[in-house]
Amino acid sequence: MSLTQILGKRGRFEIGSIKLILGRRMKNKHEDQEKGGKWLTTFNDMVTLLLTFLVLVLSLSVIDRSKLEQASCAMNAVFDMPKIKKEDVKIFTPFVVPIRSKIRMFEDKKSELAERINKAAETIAKATGDGASVGPEGIMNIKVIKEGVSVTLGEKLLFKTGMAEIEEKNRPALKSLCSIFQKTDSRIRIEGHTDDVPINTPEFPSNWELSTARAVNVVKYFISEGGILPERLSAAGYADSKPLFPNVSDLNRDINRRVEVILALKKE
């Protein structure tokens, strides 16, 4: 005989009431646990953001080395610790470089490279003689550009008029430049330019072929004699489409006949 049969209807009612009450208590307890745990998620997010902010502040801070050394010596004296040398005191190096610092570093890198090339250019101009100079109207011109450094080589420094082969006497000038280019991590783009005087020979039907052939021959020299990796190099010819000065005089035309070496530096 079961318990419900013994207790009758009243007993069945009381047992059902007890089960209902227990069920509600278990449900409420479960809901309270869920509600109570939600604040932990918000707290964890807040702590993570605070930690990230502190790490960022530390990474951007500038530590005074002299004060750090004084603090280190004071701690050694108080706790009777072994003396350490100044060079053993390590300064925290920020692992997050500010954007402005990156820009300044890139600009300094371009300026230093341009200065080294300019010194070599002055030496080349002196060796060339005939009043050769470095500058916008000289046989070479070096300037800092947005992507790196531009090195302009006048026609007289490399070729005879209407020709694309590099003259033997001018090869040492390129060789000295290659020694500088080798030490950079830049991409090197060679651009050939001419004046507006038409050319029509079996070898060069137009200035487009002439300007491109000159750029390609410089690339070949950089690879074979300069030891520069081919994957760093590219060549292009622009004929008379990008003059430095209007083609209205012989002097301007001389300046426009050129090869430009563009050193595109990598931004670190």
Question: Do the bridges between strand 187-193 and strand 140-144 make them parallel or antiparallel, or are there none, so unpaired?
Answer: unpaired
13-32 CB burial, b ≥16 within 10 A, e <16: eeeeeeeeeeeeeeeeeeee
**Per-residue pLDDT at 106:** 85
Q: What's the CA gap between 79 and 222, in Å, rounded?
A: 63
Q: Which CATH code, of 3.40.50.620, 3.30.1330.60, 3.40.190.10, 3.40.50.720, is assigned to 99-264?
A: 3.30.1330.60
Q: Work out the end-to-end distance of the chain between its first and last CA atoms, rounded to an integer number of angstroms.
A: 88
Please report, rounded to a whole number, the percentage of residues in the chain having pLDDT higher than 90: 43
**Per-residue pLDDT at 267:** 76
With a cut of 70, which residues of the chain have pLDDT below it?
1-38, 59-65, 67-68, 75-100, 268
* Other CB atoms within 10 A of residue 50 CB: 10
Structural tokens at position 109: 């890198």
**Per-residue pLDDT at 251:** 92
Segments making up each domain of the chain, as ranges = 99-264
